[in-house]
Structure 1
């Protein structure tokens, strides 16, 4: 299937972006995956996407790219993203317009917004047929209750929300998403390391992440000062950039740790660095998952982490693959570090177990888990969407009118309409709106609409039936009972003949198929006997009277008059013809030809296309199949003559040379 991830900046190397790119790469083995970056500031991504993952961007903000950078819409705040959200300053009327244009045109079956802002975009503008998911890496505890209410309000049309930990899933569920949106815990994906695992001989404690207050690297540096007092040959290396860099540099100098603690700046891929270390450390106050810790575990490192809200307590098993300490407790964290520094066998054993446990975050497992979320969300959509479960039953009356009866609406309503949209509509052709009125004598909460057999109402074509409740976009409905017993005589007006057939499409939605003709020739019987094709039928819109019925055969795609064959009629609307297959075989010029059949009256220029409309069979082409008639030619290959119905249910004949 086609899956698209909408990200803020696919060219960065932060944890949220790494997590999305890792999952996209895992899914690309079996799906068509695209990462859509709302913003682009760099020529190349900091992390190269996996094979099969395509990256596209909506706003190009690189130096020298003037159209987007100078667009005045960047000065107008977003009409979708609340100003209280952390990244709202990045979003504007321009990002709204670009995202809306892209999402409305996207053909992806699954669209994923990977932040609160982008999940709101997906909820609002992704195509109704697409599965709409939100993948949130920010803990709900980061937001105040008032901010949560505003943030969640924009997510009501999502099919599901994915968060990286069970703790976060509980928090988001407790917050109460609108529309009863399901919340799934889905740990971040960690790719297979391309280096040998750590061997345990290093003397390096390592941490990685943005240098921001919630990471509490000040606690880590103070705890490591206790380690240095007993083991001056050990180092602490912290990889990352951020606003806390200056303060942390000052703390290192204050504690005289400039030969032991190193702020290493940011690197996009750290697996070789992890493999060269001995212990991974995390001192966060809160952590949505702990991607850097899981990456370290994949490389065979034991972890010392705070038991903060979020993912670390779910991925670190205390005393088995690492150690957990209370949040903001320098003494406890120092003691945990010293335990692993001084106990080499325990450090090695926990590292081996960490590597084994981290397989649960590998690409195959992660891709399978995400596919499970998609399946569950689809099932939930089928079972829970009110519009999709509304059914419309149909009855075809004797005069050709189609009666549509609505069930599944529990409360009395006065604003319900059925909206009929024509497939492949011509430019400017508008949908047809039919008011739903209470059905008299059929019980409470049942409504009716009527489609008269009038070409001024429905032109020829296929019309998808939608329900408009006034609460959003009209949604397609599913068919209830289809009573086609009245389908027989067509509705005939002064200059037209109309046939209307309701049926269930392959996707399970209600469709009306309509035909409009000034005259129509209905084939009622077709059979072959002794090399002759026999036809019987009825002419609607006229009768034959004293005129002789004529069958006109026209070679498709050729500008020529064709040839006529006389037939029989009782003088009414009935007709019959006997067409020798040899007559068509003699006309064969190439190796393969198609002939269309028309019925007319002698001395009357109006002819009617021969077809089969008056049947409750939707797929006439497949159901009504006729045998080949083999015509010997005496010289060369014999000729095959085969009557068949086209996709438009009209009768034609295929004439071709018989293959050896």
Structure 2
């Protein structure tokens, strides 16, 4: 069959896009599948798409570039859509007269057997502009029936009645559609979102960490999760909560976290893709929404072996989670109930492990192959109802030679054996390198790279690490790259922190083919940092720490810290009268009877500060810096003031020991570990993870 999905913008990030990509890839195993994006805003999709799925845009809204035209500036972009209600058309959706024209042309000319529209505006266009009878017309609802504005709902209801089928992502919402739209001929059914299992190593349930992820918007009720965490933190101060995502509620949540004194217990992590590596770091997942049309984050977490505590809100969670077996359902809108659910799993490790195993099993029901099979069944039923047989699918032919089928074989014409000619061609044409790697931190702290075989070709390949900013003459670090041990297996390499002495900085990874000098930067599929949780630095000096990460453009890189000694600020507490820091020393020891000092060196004309350091057991230390002394060091000067903190082994030592927060799995602590201004003083972490304090000009 020929199947065409209509997406508004396939180049963005969102649950609808992710689910469509997943099921399209699964259907492409047996069908010709395309995704038609109404708009294109960037060069490549943000999410991975199966190579067999064709992606094509209808309007190109990228800026003009050499060799490329753009639809920006087209006069029809300023004219309203004749089909899509204004409430759906305006804003980021941006339906207009040009999208009307392009959608109509696509629906008129397509050779698809099935067209599937994925949001209200597209459902409306499919009903009004689609060719009835020429192909199956199917609409999808990825939200809930009652969440749309009245004018969108009315237009959608009219459109649904003209389609062959319309699907919701939960049976509860499908039932709502049937109750609100009685008597229409359209098949109203439920098909869940497709959520694939991941290649990420699942959680081992040991980290004292709860993870939540999603858009920071009011419906997700992260404010309740923050309030619940105040109860959890009071009973289990060694547990932490991470909330991944971005959105308009971020400043509201930040203020609430600070007001409750939870800055050191809750971290707003920002957006992260792929999110699977972060689910696998947690031992528990939390979903606190007021409503969920489905709950892709629930299934993602379950795939990663993480049991979910979720509000039993309409409609999705209760259809995904079996309460008490593979997760816990708690009352919506109840911070106390959320806290009790989290505490149940925090305090019962055996229950947590049992639920984690059950969660992985339950998540298999949402594998893209199963959802694709349900779509195929729906297609067959709809065609049968029409009295039409299912269209035959011609097998896809993959041309692997230099010549097209039916073309004259030039080797035979010249009297050259075909095998010899192919060998000569192969000798002249080398396959390009396109290394794509997974990076996993092993329990002993080594970095294990697995590079897919499809993009790596040749003999004697080498992995190199190049430090940014080191200059053209700097020699890269070379690491052996081992060929697959079995057919279709990965190439592998080990980065051993005990054997490689990497100077501090950011390192980019390349695969080099010495035979022809080809050098290609390594792309990243997963950079798994779960093994860094609870991992200790290597003993002795120098202190070093590595974190693998995926760059914004999708490459694999490594951040290295390398210092003679380092003081790790494990606790930073903003008290009523003073800043207190507690941490551990690495790479050097406090001598017997030593009197270490914390020194705050000013940036600018303010005076330096110092504080006595108390040496605790097992290399731990603590010091307190009163806010009054910080303000006194300003000497009455106006404007902001900043100090960088270090430790000294003794009052007369001139060798500073960097003080900051590096150990763990978080790359950019300056973006995540944020603390409030307290009595005009704010501690913060620099880009390199070092601890500083500031007196802002204006205190909010």
Question: Could you say whether these structures have the same fold, taking a TM-score greater than 0.5 normalized by the shorter chain as the test?
Answer: yes
Among 82, 93, 97, which residue is 2:97 paired with? 93
Does 1:71 pair with 2:74? yes
Q: Secondary structure at the match of 1:161?
A: strand
On the 8 A contact 2:242/2:268 being kept in 1, the answer is yes
Does 1:112 pair with 2:116? yes
Does 1:234 pair with 2:203? no
Does 1:152 pair with 2:157? yes
CA distance in 2, matches of 1:146, 1:6: 22
Does 1:310 pair with 2:315? yes
Q: Give the 5 Å matches for 1:277-356.
A: 277-356=282-361
On the 8 A contact 1:39/1:61 being kept in 2, the answer is yes
Partner of 2:377: 372
Let me know the Cα RMSD of the aligned residues.
Answer: 2.0
Partner of 1:47: 47
Runs of 4+ that moved beyond 4 A: 86-89, 144-147
Mean CA deviation greater in 368-377 or 138-147: 138-147
Q: Deviations over 1:452-480 (max 9, x none)?
A: xxxxxxxxxxxxxxxxxxxxxxxxxxxxx
CA distance in 1, matches of 2:320, 2:377: 21
Q: How many positions carry a matched residue from both structures?
A: 386
Q: Deviations over 1:553-588 (max 9, x none)?
A: xxxxxxxxxxxxxxxxxxxxxxxxxxxxxxxxxxxx
On the 8 A contact 2:23/2:369 being kept in 1, the answer is no
Partner of 2:19: 19
Shift of 1:316: 0.8
Q: Secondary structure at the match of 2:204?
A: coil
Q: Secondary structure at the match of 1:262?
A: strand
On the 8 A contact 1:321/1:354 being kept in 2, the answer is yes
Shift of 1:109: 0.7
CA distance in 1, matches of 2:304, 2:182: 37
Partner of 1:255: 260
CA distance in 2, matches of 1:506, 1:343: 53
Shift of 1:142: 0.6
Given the two structures, how large is their TM-score scaled by the length of structure 1? Answer: 0.56
Structure 1: gaps spanning 5 or more residues: 384-504, 508-660
Q: Deviations over 1:48-105 (max 9, x none)?
A: 2023112111111123366411011111111111123376761111111111111211
Q: Deviations over 1:201-248 (max 9, x none)?
A: 122111111111111111111112211111112121111111212211
Q: Deviations over 1:130-180 (max 9, x none)?
A: 111111101012135665223211233211011110011011111217842
On the 8 A contact 1:156/1:177 being kept in 2, the answer is no
Does 1:214 pair with 2:222? no
On the 8 A contact 1:134/1:161 being kept in 2, the answer is yes
Q: Secondary structure at the match of 2:286?
A: strand
On the 8 A contact 1:198/1:299 being kept in 2, the answer is yes
> Which structure: larger Rg?
1
Partner of 1:569: none
CA distance in 2, matches of 1:380, 1:146: 32
Given the two structures, how large is their TM-score scaled by the length of structure 2? Answer: 0.53
CA distance in 1, matches of 2:158, 2:233: 50
CA distance in 2, matches of 1:100, 1:316: 41
Among 106, 121, 126, which residue is 1:122 paired with? 126
CA distance in 1, matches of 2:102, 2:151: 29
On the 8 A contact 1:2/1:33 being kept in 2, the answer is yes
Shift of 1:22: 0.9
On the 8 A contact 1:284/1:327 being kept in 2, the answer is yes
CA distance in 1, matches of 2:172, 2:40: 33
Does 1:173 pair with 2:217? no
CA distance in 2, matches of 1:366, 1:353: 20
Cα separation, partners in 2 of 1:85 and 1:172, compared to 1, 3 Å: farther
Shift of 1:320: 0.7
Cα separation, partners in 2 of 1:199 and 1:262, compared to 1, 3 Å: same
Q: Secondary structure at the match of 2:310?
A: strand
Q: Secondary structure at the match of 1:85?
A: helix
